[in-house]
């Protein structure tokens, strides 16, 4: 049964296999500023997996070092046993950039696990966590042409605010 957990080193093999699936889709290049893109580049650069996992876990802490303009972020992995299925990132607050691109919550499901309802369940299970972080409602975005993600957001109560720069911006209640 799939569940959201804090990132764990024991998932190294499955996580790396998932990153290879994303890379095969063209993710991870220098222009890919997404969480998955950053993860692929970090691991390709030789970052130790245990240190990688700890860094991701530490990003939720207010005092953790981070890039300029980045906010604390709680990242959770969706797993079924030892199989990594996807991730969801909950940004603790919005910046002017996140209001236009990114929002409070972003998620990815590995290509081989798509179309099984995992994204909808992952977002559903993450919304109470966002609420405990003081986020209500959550701003969640998807590309204009991403019908699957749009359905995930709408199934979780998302109300469309507008379209900006090719992104649909939704507000989703967390309580």
Give the per-residue pLDDT at 103. Answer: 97
Give the per-residue pLDDT at 69. Answer: 87
Entry pTM: 0.95
Using CB atoms within 10 Å of the CB of residue 156, give its burial: 0 to 12 exposed, 13 to 18 middle, 19+ buried. buried
Query: Minimal CA–CA distance to 110: which of 5, 23, 9, 7?
Result: 23
pLDDT above 90 for 143: yes
- pLDDT-derived band at 68, boundaries 50, 70, 90: confident
* Cα pseudo-dihedral 150, 122, 37, 105, rounded to 10: 70
pLDDT above 90 for 67: no
- Tell me the average pLDDT across 138-162: 98
- Tell me the average pLDDT across 42-49: 94
Q: Count H helices and E strands in the chain, helices first.
A: 6, 7
pLDDT above 90 for 33: no
Identify the DSSP state of 147: H
How much is the mean pLDDT over the chain? 96
Identify the DSSP state of 44: H
The tally of domains found in the chain comes to 1
pLDDT digits (tens, 9 = 90+) for 74-123: 999 999 999 999 999 999 999 999 999 999 999 999 999 999 999 999 99
pLDDT above 90 for 72: yes
* CATH code of the domain containing 102: 3.40.630.30
Q: Name the residue range of residue 94's domain.
A: 3-172
pLDDT above 90 for 20: yes
């Amino acid at each position: 049964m799939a569940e959201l957990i804090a990132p764990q080193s024991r998932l190294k093999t499955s996580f790396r296999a998932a990153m290879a699936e994303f890379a095969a889709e063209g993710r991870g290049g220098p222009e890919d500023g997404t969480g998955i893109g950053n993860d692929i580049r970090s691991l390709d650069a030789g970052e130790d997996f245990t240190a990688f996992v700890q860094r991701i876990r530490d990003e939720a802490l207010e005092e953790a070092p981070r890039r300029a303009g980045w906010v604390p972020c709680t990242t959770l992995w969706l797993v079924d046993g030892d199989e990594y299925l996807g991730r969801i990132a909950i940004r603790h607050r919005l910046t002017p950039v996140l209001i236009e691109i990114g929002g409070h919550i972003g998620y990815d499901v590995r290509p081989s696990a798509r179309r099984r309802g995992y994204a909808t369940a992952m977002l559903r299970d993450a919304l109470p966590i966002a609420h405990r972080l003081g986020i209500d409602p959550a701003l969640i975005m998807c590309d204009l042409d991403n019908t699957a993600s749009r359905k995930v957001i709408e199934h979780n109560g998302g109300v469309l605010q507008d379209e900006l720069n090719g992104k649909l911006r939704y507000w989703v209640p967390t309580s």
